[in-house]
Every structure is written in C-alpha cells, then in structure tokens.
Amino acid sequence: MRFIDLRSDTVTMPTDAMREAMYKAEVGDDVYGDDPTVSKLEAYAAALLGKESALFVPSGTFGNQLALFTHCKRGNEVILSDDSHIVMHEVGGASVIAGVQLRTLPTKKGEMNPREVASKIRGEDIHYPSTGLICLENAHSNGRVISLENMAEIYGIAKNHGIPVHLDGARVFNAATYLNIDVKEITKYCDSIMCCLSKGLCAPVGSILAGSKDFIDKARKGRKLMGGGLRQSGFLAAAGLVALQDMIHRLKEDHENALLLGRELSKIPGIKVEMDDIHLNMVFFDMQDTGYDSDQLVDEFFNRGIKINSAEDGIMRFVTNYWVSEEDVRHVVKTMKELLSA
C-alpha cells in the first residue's frame, strides 16, 4: 500500500536517479581521502554554498554538534535562540560533545533581537565564560524564513566582536527558494553552515558542513573523533550530489503544495491556519475547535493511507515533499472533510 506521508520531509525516499548514481558510484576509503565521489560532493557543496571547503557528515545533528565542537573551547558560551533545533532537538549534545554552555534568547517568530544578542556577548571578567559562537537557524524549524536583514545585523555584531557565526541551514535551500535568491546571499552572513541532503532534497543519508579551509580541516579531525569517519561513503555521497544538482530547483513545488494545502484546510470550519507562516513546505494549523481528537485523526488517516503526526501543544504540522503531489494534497483535504463531517 502506498502511503501519503506528511509527517516530515525526513521521510523522503531516494529518487530513481539517486539509486542509479549510488549503484554506479566510484568509491574508496574516505578516511584515507580516497573516495572520489565524496571529494566531488564536498567540492560541489563548498562552491554552491560559497565557502572554501565542505565536509560530508552523517546527519544534521552531527554537523551542528561538530560545528560547536570545532568553533568552541570547553566552557565557552554559545548564543542562540531558545526555540532552535540545537537547543530543542539535539539531546543536549552541546554540553556533552563540545562542553559548551548555551545562552538562549527568545525570538519573535524565529528571529533573535540583534540588540539583545549584542547585550549578551561577554566582556572580560574573571567570573565570565567567553562567548565562543553565535548560532542562527534559517529556514527556522517553525517553518519560517529569517530575514536577511536580521541575519546581516547579527553577523555584523558578531564580526565586531570577533565571534564566529554558525548557521543551522538544515533547510537553507528552502529558505533561498522562498526568498528567490542565490543561497550564497544567505550564507555570506555565516562562517560555517550545516545543510541537510536528506530532507526535502531526498538523499537517503547525510548532511554538509561548510566553512573556511582551516575550519573544515579541523572539523575533519573532529568528525573522526566523533565516529563519523566513514569508509566507502561515496555510495551515500553519490545520492547527495544528485540532491544538490537536481533537487533544489524543484523545492518550489513543495512550497506551492503547502500553500494549497493551507488554503484548502483553512476553508474547513474549525481549522485555523496561519497562512502568513507558510514560507516553506510546512503547514501548521489548530483544529481544536473542530472537537476532533488529533490522536484519533492519526489513526483514521492511517487507515486511509495517510501518515501524519499528532498535535504538539494543540498544533498540527503537515509537511509536503517530493513524494506528495498536488493530487495527494487534494486527497488529504477531501479525507479531512469526510472525517470531520462523519
């Protein structure tokens, strides 16, 4: 049975082109620097992101944690938003791996206030930790794109203090698609960036960490320490190359499908959709006024071939992706209407 899977864009299967590229990939032992496909992916990613070097890493979480570990010394303080992925969804890894303290700031729809960031940068005092890094996230996991103005302002403050900026750009290509700009217009406001190949871009495994040559040289050794020195990983990198070469330009289809899904859901009585918050492939909505239990919805949808997650704090999230067509979106809306009126 084919499911329509709206739980996340992490559920995407590799495309036929990826499977073929993986089958044919030329590989070698990448810890020896012998894998031509990994090297090709890393060079391609670095150029695309406008950085000197790039490194293939097993996951987005790995890339973020490796960035913290590479930029910071133990006991450093990292300034970032309290709703960021690094704070919320990385198992507290920053305290375990990099051994850093996280200084979290509230956001307005994902954007930190630059003045507040500036005020949290530590001066010299025997009691204080040193500020080692500032982290941004774009696109934000709340489904919104952070403005370039906000990034530029925070980046400027960081540079004035000689502090590096890391961008969690798991969905940076979605952000560039939304802003209709080259991704380098975003990445110029960070020193290092992590982006995922495995979400909307459909690669089965892997992320990229990019930055200066010195930074990536150091990160390569950190990756080994963390157990991420992979051997014939060209099989995975081959799919990653297809992701970067062929899958970015079509992300706008996912965004259009999300807008369609949001518009149609908002027409259903009792469902509230924040249409202004649909920047990417994510639709957040509140259906508590329908009186329909969201756990029951998960079961009923499943029985009808649709996978969704239950509500979190009363808010549902549906995510479109390569494997969800416009027809699928219309089918989901129809199914929702049928269930609510039954």
Footprint of ligand PLP (CB under 6 A): 59-61, 64, 85, 137, 141, 168, 170, 196, 198, 207
CB 24 within 8 A of CB 248: no
Assign 3-class secondary structure to 72-113.
CCCCCEEEEECCCHHHHCCCCHHHHHHCCEEEEECCECCECC
Mention every residue, 6+ apart, whose C-beta is less than 8 A from residue 250.
322
**C-beta nearest to ligand PLP: residue:** 60
Closer residue to ligand PLP in complex, CB, 240/297: 240
Shortest reach from residue 150's CB to ligand PLP, in Å = 16
Shortest reach from residue 170's CB to ligand PLP, in Å = 3
Closer residue to ligand PLP in complex, CB, 72/175: 175
Shortest reach from residue 219's CB to ligand PLP, in Å = 16
Shortest reach from residue 258's CB to ligand PLP, in Å = 15
Two tokens, residue 314: 């009363």
CA angle at 285 for the pair 280 and 287, rounded to the nearest 5°: 160
Shortest reach from residue 7's CB to ligand PLP, in Å = 13
Shortest reach from residue 89's CB to ligand PLP, in Å = 7
Mention every residue, 6+ apart, whose C-beta is less than 8 A from residue 302.
none
Closer residue to ligand PLP in complex, CB, 72/208: 208
Pairing assessment for the beta strands 192-196 and 165-168 based on DSSP bridges: parallel
Burial 86-97 (b: 16+ CB within 10 A, else e): bbeebeebbeeb
Closer residue to ligand PLP in complex, CB, 124/313: 313
Closer residue to ligand PLP in complex, CB, 85/223: 85
Mention every residue, 6+ apart, whose C-beta is less than 8 A from residue 186.
138, 148, 151, 167, 169, 172, 175, 176, 179
Rg (CA), the chain: 21
Closer residue to ligand PLP in complex, CB, 85/317: 85
Shortest reach from residue 76's CB to ligand PLP, in Å = 20
Q: Would you call the peptide bond into 139 cis, given omega within 30 degrees of 0 as the criterion?
A: yes
Phi and psi at 271, nearest 5°, equal -105, 125
Closer residue to ligand PLP in complex, CB, 170/210: 170
